[in-house]
């Protein structure tokens, strides 16, 4: 069995191009009051003719969910279930989609849902859309379908998915791109061009794709027949602004009305803006670094533990995130389980983990115990052009120096950096890489299994040969548990074992940032905006 879940692509792709400072803040950044975090903005009351949205991640590579992660496709191709801003699931194209027994998942389609071209959404379309992920091992959502035995039409408006084993993660996956529905006839006709500027897509979301001019913009228009009501914004245009400073300027001048993932370094500038506001929402996103091969200093657990003890998290959050983040005790962010019925179990186990703190003496001792030759440098790879990650690397470097380790920073071009995730040779002599990772649907298993499971069982980022049978067994039983509480209990037991091994050294959890012009409201402002039709409720105040 292999599992390439959503985070696989996400880890590689979410290296937002926040490159330079648009702000002038010299003051110490204020910590964020967690009560002030918002998952969605108050409902819009007015129609708006047009809104321009900035994409700091740059131009999408594809609009097919799973081919690329962007904020455009969730407004075009919606899923069987809808994800709320607070990471709870609600009905979507399916009126009901749930387990009817431990190995049978039944999908009852909503009556009268239509694609933009007026054709009804049929069970054939659903089977086609789900099978795309199920049958393609290179698909980013393949991991969600590994236990699937069959996908078949079982009624006029019903699709049934049978499983070889229960899968506690499947329903959550249906709230994201894995559950997105594309029109079969259109998609098959478009062939290879599907999802590109030339081929387009045909879906049932709140916005129709009007025109994608490569390098220029993507224009979408309101789907007046959307099952959940016509959107208030009639034309939503996306512009690609991969430079963080340019984005800040465009937002402040009102040329662009809103954007997600705006640069934390522009926090002060945003907070003093007159015509717009910076909103902070909960996220699963975190900054971390981790090993990329099974030899060298990075592969040694004691060296990673030592580095973990050498880094001052508070200083990190101040410098890199300008206060827009929090200390995170392990690489799975608490927001991942916020919608789960077993949230208490997860939270209790998380709280029991030691909070990272600086202890240089203990760190030096660990370096000594590691038995490694500390005269050799540790090569740390980061993508060129990311201000946050280049600061991260500098902080890791100086922390390492304090405990007698030398870190050499290697900046890689975007394409070379993404190659790290698919090609062993591309990792070369790197020991560690620093990334921003997130999961865009609920669930705690999605992310850690990539690192802790053996590669043939889905641990596609398990590059150090990490192999603890007990962890593997507990993770698998968490996945195949039929009861959320049982799943949580297995998971937290596994976490107790793998957390100290630092397969990722987490530096901080980051809040989801949104900047929005004052005339607008209604958008989803948590990390759910990667999966949910966040613009469906956007509109004027």
Partner 1 sequence: MRGRALVSLLAKLGGLLLTLFLSSIVIFSALLLTPGDPVATLAGGKRPTPEMIAAIREQFRLDDPIWLRYIDWLGGVLTGNLGESFVYKTPVGELIGPRIGVTLTLVIFAVILIAVFGIGSGILAATRGPKADRAVLLSTSIGMALPTFVMAILLIWIFAKMLGWFPVYGGGTGLLDQIHHLTLPAISLAVVYIAYISRITRASLVGELSSEHVDTARVRGIPRSRIFRSHVFLNASPQILAVSGATIAGLFATSAIAEQAFGINGLGSLLTEAAARKDLPVVQIISLLLVAIFVILNAIADTVNALIDPDSLTSGRNA
Nearest residue (CB) to partner 1, 17 versus 323: 17
How far is it, in rounded angstroms, from Cα 384 to Cα 61? 19
Please state the closest distance from residue 520 (CB atom) to partner 1, in A. 18
Assigned token pair, 239 = 């512009």
For residue 97, list its beta bridge partners.
107
Please state the closest distance from residue 269 (CB atom) to partner 1, in A. 10
Nearest residue (CB) to partner 1, 164 versus 413: 413
For residue 162, list its beta bridge partners.
104, 150
Please state the closest distance from residue 411 (CB atom) to partner 1, in A. 12
For residue 289, list its beta bridge partners.
434, 505
Nearest partner of 57 among 414, 341, 333, judged by Cα: 414
Per-residue burial over 168-202, b = 16 or more CB atoms within 10 Å of its CB, e = otherwise: bbbbbbbbbbbbbbbbbebbeebeeebbbbebbbb
Please state the closest distance from residue 169 (CB atom) to partner 1, in A. 19
Backbone angles phi, psi at 160, to 5 degrees: -120, 130
Please state the closest distance from residue 358 (CB atom) to partner 1, in A. 36
Nearest residue (CB) to partner 1, 455 versus 484: 455
Nearest residue (CB) to partner 1, 218 versus 349: 218
Per-residue burial over 350-373, b = 16 or more CB atoms within 10 Å of its CB, e = otherwise: beeeeebebeeeebbebbeebebe
Nearest residue (CB) to partner 1, 68 versus 431: 68
Nearest residue (CB) to partner 1, 53 versus 511: 53
Nearest residue (CB) to partner 1, 330 versus 446: 446
Please state the closest distance from residue 461 (CB atom) to partner 1, in A. 10
- Footprint on this chain of partner 1 (rule: CB under 8 A): 4, 8-9, 12-13, 58-59, 61-62, 67-68, 137-140, 192-193, 196-198, 213-216, 239-243, 246-247, 249-250, 253, 255-256, 384-385, 413-416, 418-419, 421-423, 425-426, 460
Q: Which residues are CB-contacts of 86 (< 8 A; sequence separation ≥ 6)?
A: 39, 40, 282, 338, 339, 526, 528
How far is it, in rounded angstroms, from Cα 399 to Cα 411? 19
Please state the closest distance from residue 89 (CB atom) to partner 1, in A. 26
How far is it, in rounded angstroms, from Cα 396 to Cα 502? 15
Please state the closest distance from residue 24 (CB atom) to partner 1, in A. 10
Nearest residue (CB) to partner 1, 36 versus 415: 415
Nearest residue (CB) to partner 1, 288 versus 418: 418
Please state the closest distance from residue 137 (CB atom) to partner 1, in A. 6
Nearest partner of 48 among 519, 528, 377, judged by Cα: 519
Nearest residue (CB) to partner 1, 249 versus 374: 249
Q: What share of the chain is helix, strand, coil (3-state, %, to 5)?
A: 35, 25, 45
Nearest residue (CB) to partner 1, 1 versus 198: 198
Neighbours of 43 (CB within 10 A): 11
Q: Provide the 3-class DSSP secondary structure of residue 272.
A: coil
What CA–CA distances, in Å, run from 429 to 99, 216, 418, 474?
A: 47, 38, 16, 33
Please state the closest distance from residue 414 (CB atom) to partner 1, in A. 5
Nearest partner of 505 among 293, 299, 288, judged by Cα: 288
Nearest residue (CB) to partner 1, 214 versus 341: 214
Side by side, the strands of the sheet bearing 258-260 are 207-213, 217-222, 233-240, 48-55, 258-260, 512-517, 276-281
Please state the closest distance from residue 356 (CB atom) to partner 1, in A. 30
Please state the closest distance from residue 421 (CB atom) to partner 1, in A. 7
Q: Are 312 and 265 in contact (CB under 8 A)?
A: no
- Whether the CA torsion 52, 58, 62, 64 is positive or negative: it is negative
Side by side, the strands of the sheet bearing 94-101 are 94-101, 104-109, 158-163, 148-155
């Amino acid at each position: 069995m292999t599992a390439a879940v959503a985070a696989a692509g996400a880890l590689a792709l979410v290296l937002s191009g926040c490159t330079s400072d648009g702000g002038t803040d010299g003051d110490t950044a204020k910590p964020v009051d967690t009560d002030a975090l918002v998952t969605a903005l108050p409902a819009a009351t007015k129609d708006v003719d047009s809104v321009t949205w900035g994409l700091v991640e740059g131009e999408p590579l594809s609009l097919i969910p799973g081919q690329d992660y962007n904020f455009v496709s969730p407004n075009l191709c919606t899923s069987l279930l809808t994800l709320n801003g607070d990471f709870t699931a609600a009905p979507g194209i399916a009126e009901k989609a749930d387990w009817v027994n431990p190995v049978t998942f039944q999908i009852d389609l909503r009556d009268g849902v239509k694609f933009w071209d007026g054709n009804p959404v049929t069970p054939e379309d659903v089977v086609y859309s789900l099978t795309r992920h199920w049958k393609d091992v290179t698909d980013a959502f393949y991991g969600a379908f590994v236990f699937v035995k069959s996908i078949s039409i079982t009624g006029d408006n019903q699709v049934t998915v049978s499983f070889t084993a229960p899968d506690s993660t499947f329903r959550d996956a249906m709230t994201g791109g894995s559950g997105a529905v594309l029109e079969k006839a259109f998609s098959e006709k478009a062939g290879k061009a599907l999802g590109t500027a030339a081929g387009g897509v045909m879906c049932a979301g709140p916005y129709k794709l009007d025109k994608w001019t490569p390098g220029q913009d993507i224009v979408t228009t309101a789907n007046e027949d959307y099952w959940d009501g016509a959107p208030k914004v009639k034309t939503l245009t996306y512009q690609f602004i991969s430079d963080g400073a340019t984005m800040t300027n465009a937002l402040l001048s009102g040329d662009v009305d809103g954007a997600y993932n705006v640069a934390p370094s522009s926090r002060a500038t945003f907070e003093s803006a007159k015509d717009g506001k910076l909103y902070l929402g909960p996220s699963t996103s975190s900054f971390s670094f981790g090993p990329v091969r099974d030899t060298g200093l990075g592969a040694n657990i004691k060296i990673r533990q030592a580095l973990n003890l050498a880094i001052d998290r508070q200083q990190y959050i101040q410098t890199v995130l300008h206060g827009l983040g929090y200390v995170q005790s392990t690489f799975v962010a608490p927001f991942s389980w916020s919608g789960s019925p077993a949230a208490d179990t997860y939270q209790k186990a998380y709280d029991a983990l030691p909070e990272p703190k600086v202890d240089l003496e203990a760190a030096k001792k660990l370096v000594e115990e590691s038995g490694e030759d500390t005269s050799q440098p540790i090569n740390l790879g980061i993508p060129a052009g990311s201000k946050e990650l280049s600061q991260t690397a500098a902080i890791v470097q100086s922390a390492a120096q304090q405990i007698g380790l030398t870190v050499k920073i290697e900046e890689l071009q975007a394409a070379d950096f993404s190659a790290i995730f698919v090609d062993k040779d591309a990792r070369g002599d790197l020991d560690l890489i620093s990334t921003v990772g997130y999961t865009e649907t609920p669930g705690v298993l999605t992310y850690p299994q990539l690192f802790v499971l053996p590669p043939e069982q889905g641990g596609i980022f398990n590059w150090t040969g990490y192999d603890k049978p007990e962890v593997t067994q507990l993770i698998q039983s968490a996945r195949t548990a039929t009861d959320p509480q049982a799943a949580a209990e297995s998971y937290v037991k596994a976490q107790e074992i793998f957390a100290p091994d630092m397969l990722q050294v987490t530096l901080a959890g980051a809040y989801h940032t949104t900047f929005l012009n004052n005339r607008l409201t209604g958008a989803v402002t948590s990390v759910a905006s990667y999966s949910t039709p966040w613009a469906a409720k956007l509109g004027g105040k």
